[in-house]
Amino acid sequence: MRIAVIGTGYVGLVSGACFSEFGTETTCVDLDQTKIERLKKGEIPIYEPGLEDLVAKNAKAGRLNFTTEIASAVAGASAVFIAVGTPSRRGDGHADLSYVYAAAKDIARNLTGYTVIVTKSTVPVGTAREIERIVRAERPDADFDVCSNPEFLREGAAITDFMRPDRVVIGCESDRAREVMRQLYRPLYLIETPIVFTTLEASELIKYAANAFLATKITFINEIADLCEKVGADVHDVARGIGLDGRIGRKFLHAGPGYGGSCFPKDTIALVRTAEEHNSPVRIVAAVVEINDKRKRQMAERIIDAGGGDLTGKTVGILGVTFKPNTDDMRDAPSLDIIPALLKAGARVKAYDPVGMHEAEKLLPGVEWVEDAYKAVENADVAAILTEWNEFRALQLPRVAEIMNRPVLVDLRNVYNLADMAQAGFEYHSIGRPAVL
């Protein structure tokens, strides 16, 4: 079997590399010429642990190819995966499907023989049927089916998530297409991964419902954390106490600065819009969106308060800017709200992130980027951990206290334990736990 993957971003590149690792001949296509040229040289345009080796191995074996030419990639392919971006549409928050539909037209023009067109991108209910219509209009003669196969991988653990997923969801309404999809995911059958075959609509909705549920869980524990601070409870105890109940589950109960990233913010809003359109509101998700937006601003206030309320002439040292560790992805990172608010409050901001600075520089003007955590906190009046990179979990606390103007740390990821911070002489503010003063 030979497949094509359209779009070589976080999802397309990882999916393409993993399918080729499964033994399928895969061609990855992108419009971005620079990206493809780099990939051909073995350079990986994103930071994702393990990806470089996986791409190198499969490219060397001749199973993984890169091109900007969609025609050669699509012609003769058994399946073509659409893995282009579906960002929020400016103005209304609907998923912007222009890249998906443009890819569908490109695919249509180049179809030869029976092909399964698969949406791997996160797309709202109805998109697969619209793609079917677009392709049919463009190529009435073409022999094809459309499937929905949403991706659940997490950046930073993308390869393991793809190779050992909790489940694979496939929306598919023809036996022929089901057989192609079954073949492609055969290695996962062998490790007994549940494969959920559904209708197109159910499959599309599963992806949004899953992300909205996870975003709700995070937002829930964030509000409980705020309450913990008021009543003198520790949110870690509460999260553990509820999470050990199998009906609730322990994951995604880490209080923090609010969810960010390339998926939850846009997907929650898009689900709210879809629900409104169908006159079937998802009020819980709408509340989650609103609470999460406010939370990022509240986080900036915490740092400003820790700095004494007025940051004019003061220095804030920022540790971590990506939306989570092990990725260079800056999309909708809380830092993008927090840091501008600090600058507006008059602060001089020094920041360090292990891999995100290159991307962040373009998005956060006015920040001084430094080469390590200690340089970021040196002479700072307040330091703040925004991303829980491993290297921020093991700072030499006495050294940090010594080189700061005042040892004040605002830890939005609850990396440290209260007793250690008290012992190291810090004023320490975290989330959902008593402050150390």
147 binds ligand NAD (CB under 6 A): no
195 binds ligand NAD (CB under 6 A): no
Dihedral of CA atoms 339, 156, 252, 161 in degrees, nearest 10, equals: 160
Interface residue with ligand NAD, options 32, 130, 201, 391 (CB under 6 A): 32
200 binds ligand NAD (CB under 6 A): no
83 binds ligand NAD (CB under 6 A): yes
Tell me the catalytic residues: 263
What value, to the nearest 5°, has the Cα angle with vertex 7 and ends 2 and 9? 120
Cβ closest to ligand NAD, residue 9 vs residue 334: 9
Interface residue with ligand NAD, options 4, 28, 153, 360 (CB under 6 A): 153
DSSP secondary structure string for all residues of 389-434: -HHHHT--HHHHHHHSSS-EEEETT--S-HHHHHHTT-EEE-SSSP
Q: Which stretch binds ligand NAD (CB under 6 A): 16-24, 101-109, 178-186, 383-391?
A: 101-109
Enumerate residues 106-135 that contact ligand NAD by CB under 6 A: 106, 121-122
3-state SS track over 242-264: HHCCCCCCCCCCCCCCCCCCCCH
Q: What is the largest CA-CA distance in the chain?
A: 74
Q: At its nearest, how many Å lie between ligand NAD and the CB of residue 3?
A: 15
Count of helix runs (H) and strand runs (E) in the chain: 19, 14
9 binds ligand NAD (CB under 6 A): yes
Element (H, E) at 119: strand 115-119
268 binds ligand NAD (CB under 6 A): no
d(CA 353, CA 262): 18
Cβ closest to ligand NAD, residue 260 vs residue 317: 260
Q: Is residue 207 marked as binding?
A: yes
- Within 8 A by CB and 6+ apart from 262, the residues are 10, 155, 323, 329, 331, 332
Cβ closest to ligand NAD, residue 63 vs residue 331: 331
| Residue nearest to ligand NAD as judged by C-beta position | 9
10 binds ligand NAD (CB under 6 A): yes
Q: At its nearest, how many Å lie between ligand NAD and the CB of residue 30?
A: 4
Q: Which long-range contacts (CB under 8 A, 24 or more apart) does 152-157 make?
A: 152/207, 152/210, 153/10, 153/11, 153/14, 155/10, 155/48, 155/261, 155/262, 155/324, 155/326, 155/327, 155/329, 156/48, 156/49, 156/324, 156/325, 156/326, 156/327, 157/49, 157/326
Q: At its nearest, how many Å lie between ligand NAD and the CB of residue 205?
A: 14
84 binds ligand NAD (CB under 6 A): yes
171 binds ligand NAD (CB under 6 A): no
206 binds ligand NAD (CB under 6 A): no
Residues that constitute the known binding site for NAD(+): 30, 35, 86, 122, 155, 266, 331
Binding site for ligand NAD (CB under 6 A): 6-12, 29-32, 35, 83-86, 99, 102-103, 106, 121-122, 151, 153, 155, 262-263
Residues that constitute the known binding site: 30, 35, 86, 122, 152-155, 207, 252-256, 260, 266, 324, 331
